[in-house]
Amino acid sequence: MSGDTSTLSWRSMSPISRSDSSDASPVARETVFPVKIIKVCFLSNSSNLGKNFKLVRCEEGWTSIINVVLSSGCVGPEINNNLCYSLLLKHLKSSEIHWLHPELTVSELTQRYEQQHLEAEWRYDLRIRYIPSDFMERFKDDRTTMLYFYQQVRSDYMQQYASKVSEGMALQLGCLEIRRFYKDMNPNGLDKKSNFELLDQCYSFTQERFPCQLVHGWNITINLVIGPEGISQQTENSTVSLNCLSEFSQVRSIACSTENDGSALLTVHIKDKQPLTVTTSSLAVAENMADLIDGYCRLGGSSEKSLIVRPNKGSDVYAEIPEKGGEWDDKHRISRDDVVVGRILGEGFFGEVHDGVYKSPTGERTRVAVKTCKDSSAEVKEKFLSEADLMKNLDHPHIVRLIGVIDVDPVWIVMELYEHGELGHYLVEEQYCLSRATLILYCVQICKALAYLEGLNMVHRDIAVRNVLVASPECVKLGDFGLSRYIDEQEYYKASVSRLPIKWMAPESINFRRFTTASDVWMFGVCVWEIFSMAQQPFSWLENGQVIIHLETGSRLPKPQFCPPTIYSLLTRCWAYEPQGRPGFSQLVCSLRPAWEKERAHMEDALQKQRREMQMDKQWLEQEERAETDVVELNCGKVKQCAALLSQPRPTAELDRSDDHVYTGVMLMVKQVVQLKNDVNALPASEYPNAVKAVGESLRTLIQRVDEILPSLHSSVITEIEGTKKLLNKDLGELINKMRLAQQNSVTSLKEECQRQMLAAAHTLALDSKNLLDAVDQARVRANLARPKPESLDTEDPGE
């Protein structure tokens, strides 16, 4: 019955005779008024198919078509639930369907859908799509709608399920299922209403399921279930109960957009929750889902007002007023002639970053970093300059200062340059010189900068040591605002699909690309972890895709070796899974400041103790310096000259020292200590490790020589020698600690005192080396391995 599925349309004729219409001019044809007649098909108990449709004249749109059909009485009398009905445009030769939203115009319908196929291949069906959760109660007074819904469910069942199995098999399976699930049912309760309830319970025709991908950091395949109870989620191949994402009363707006690959995004903005965003296979599917959600919202609010946000239509009457965010005043616009560009410092996202010098109007010269943009397209330039647009209004002692921009091609962003560079590199280079108090100070300064941004309703989104610059050993500044955004009243920022620092991000940022001040707090905690780990990468042992799984199991980054327990306890609070469980930046500043003051006081106490110890050793050191002037040669082979260098020297045994490798090792140790003492004032702090390394190598050589003769010595003296060796290793460790302390204070007033303490540790090492020689000599005498000193040496003048 092809006539039942055709769509009729014509144009109203102008007041000329029909015989002359074929000769009408083109101008006359343009004056005809377009009228569209559509045939709306509906369900009926009548076997006469000619009565199952109604022709409706459509001139403006679809708002009144459903009301016209329902009020005509062709469907049934006294229909009270008009908002439950919708129009479905169906292509008869394919599975293509489109639900027609009331705001869709005739011209849009023709342009978007009908032109794709022959007009006769389309069919308009009247259906109940928006079903109240209490439809059994609401439909009591609307028997026509109840009967229509029953017919619709029965028709869908027969078309979608009944044809898949034979009638006999379907009957047997149906009976078995009813007996299994409803074994307690009253056999007499077989009226139509009871059967309908059973049908509704066995098969859910009140819900629609849409396979799609949840935008969740990466795409997760789910079934989005939309029904009277709200919007729910069911993961692919899951048989568990549905996870409700939102009720319709919480929906604030709905939007659809197309992607470059032909897919589409459906975004549902929900009150007090992050937006729900899913990817569908096509724009048509996204629009069908949007119409369903919008229809339920209209039904719940008993209003025809739509929540779908549609893009503005093109028009000659309306035009966009561009924002003034991209315009730069004279304060921030600088001349290219005032910037001298130097070497390349690195490669940024948009282009190279150069060293340079900027000459201000007053003649002052400032070292600057010049960011360049290699792409001159308007879209890229806008994104490139967005960082400067945010920075131009920032004024904080711990935030990188913007010098200005050059907004003509090639565009530049000029910022202040700090000689110590990125904090990450600085931590690696100076890890042996940085005290714990200094590391906490860096954390406090970064936290203050973020508290300032929090007050401006700005999220940074990329807090890491690579984006912190070191202005001086006592001052760091937060930089790189390329990912920063104002959040205004929305309280969060929804990021677009782009490259993001996954291993630094909070769970809600990874899952939903949702950024708030709370997500910045999480990233700040990771940045603090980097500082105390000396710029190690967080979760370096995991792939990006494994991080969120790791976090959702409750695992967190481990405590760094140099991180105080109080600081790490604060980090665990920053890493609370729920954003509302994390402290604010103002609270973090108040918590970090006492920790820094305590650590600084502890460091001052340690320095005071060192001063007292140095004062006590001062006289002894001066005595050692005077004794050193009495040493004429270190290669004379006499132990008396070595002892003159040491405090309270004891003479060695009068033995033959020819081919005595232990004695030679002790003398080499003494020589290295004296060399360290003579050179310490001239050496830069960076060379201290090399000088101490020479002493350590001498000690290693000495211990190797002792180990060579141990098998020939009596076992009763080996224990004493081994204990002396352990003491020497302990002395070397103390020397290394004093060397590091001297490095840390190389630019402070404690420089000389720390150097004296390092020399004291070196002298202790030399003295214990001499004690080792005495122990070895005694053991060799006991084992009859020692030879007396030759007579020619006994007669020599001791002062030689």
**Residue 670 binned pLDDT confidence (cut-offs 50, 70, 90):** confident
Please say if the pLDDT value at position 8 is more than 70. Answer: no
707 is catalytic: no
Please say if the pLDDT value at position 373 is more than 50. Answer: yes
Q: Are 40 and 124 in contact (CB under 8 A)?
A: yes
**Residue 632 binned pLDDT confidence (cut-offs 50, 70, 90):** very low
**Residue 647 binned pLDDT confidence (cut-offs 50, 70, 90):** very low
Please say if the pLDDT value at position 1 is more than 70. Answer: no
Instruction: Provide mean pLDDT across the span 794-800.
Output: 40
- What was the pLDDT predicted at 674? 86
Residues in the chain: 800
Give residue-wise pLDDT tens across range 231-251. Answer: 988 765 555 567 788 888 888
Task: Determine what percent of the chain falls in helix, strand and coil, rounding each to the nearest 5.
Answer: 45, 20, 35
- What was the pLDDT predicted at 530? 95
Please say if the pLDDT value at position 471 is more than 50. Answer: yes
**Residue 200 binned pLDDT confidence (cut-offs 50, 70, 90):** very low
The whole-angstrom separation of Cα 243 and Cα 231 is 9
Name the residue with higher pLDDT: 698 or 629: 698
- What was the pLDDT predicted at 480? 77
- Region of 480 please: left (phi>0), alpha (psi -120 to 50) or beta: left
- What was the pLDDT predicted at 514? 82
Other C-beta atoms within 10 Å of 45: how many?
8
Give residue-wise pLDDT tens across range 34-52. Answer: 567 888 888 877 666 566 8
The segment with the largest mean pLDDT, out of 183-197, 478-492, 538-552, is 538-552
Instruction: Provide mean pLDDT across the span 697-720.
Output: 80
**Residue 105 binned pLDDT confidence (cut-offs 50, 70, 90):** confident
End-to-end CA distance of the chain: 132
Please say if the pLDDT value at position 68 is more than 80. Answer: yes
**Residue 17 binned pLDDT confidence (cut-offs 50, 70, 90):** very low
- What was the pLDDT predicted at 654? 62
- What was the pLDDT predicted at 568? 94
Catalytic residue among 142, 462, 768, 777: 462
- What was the pLDDT predicted at 770? 83
The whole-angstrom separation of Cα 105 and Cα 107 is 5
Cis status of the peptide bond prior to 410, with omega within 30 of 0: yes
% residues pLDDT > 90 (the chain)? 11
- What was the pLDDT predicted at 497? 44
Give residue-wise pLDDT tens across range 730-772. Answer: 888 888 888 888 888 777 777 888 888 888 888 888 888 888 8
- What was the pLDDT predicted at 735? 87
Please say if the pLDDT value at position 681 is more than 70. Answer: yes
Instruction: Provide mean pLDDT across the span 408-412.
Output: 84
Q: Are 332 and 390 in contact (CB under 8 A)?
A: no
- What was the pLDDT predicted at 484? 58
- What was the pLDDT predicted at 588? 93
Please say if the pLDDT value at position 574 is more than 90. Answer: yes
Q: Which pairs from 514-519 meet CB under 8 Å and 24+ separation? A: 514/274, 515/459, 515/461, 515/485, 515/487, 516/459, 516/487, 516/491, 516/492, 516/579, 517/454, 517/459, 517/487, 517/584, 517/585, 518/579, 518/580, 518/582, 519/459, 519/461, 519/579
Rounded to two decimals, the pTM is 0.44
- Tell whether 164 is in a known binding site: no
Please say if the pLDDT value at position 60 is more than 60. Answer: no
Please say if the pLDDT value at position 613 is more than 70. Answer: no
- What was the pLDDT predicted at 788? 67
Summary mean pLDDT of the chain: 76
- What was the pLDDT predicted at 652? 53
Give residue-wise pLDDT tens across range 480-535. Answer: 766 656 554 344 444 444 567 889 999 988 888 788 889 999 999 999 999 999 99
Domains by residue range for the chain, with CATH: 2-123 (3.10.20.90), 208-309 (2.30.29.30), 337-416 (3.30.200.20), 423-598 (1.10.510.10), 630-794 (1.20.120.330)
Give residue-wise pLDDT tens across range 125-173. Answer: 889 888 888 888 888 888 888 888 888 888 887 777 666 667 777 777 7
Instruction: Provide mean pLDDT across the span 661-671.
Output: 85
Other C-beta atoms within 10 Å of 481: how many?
24
- Burial tier of 704 (Cβ tally within 10 Å: 0-12, 13-18, 19+): exposed
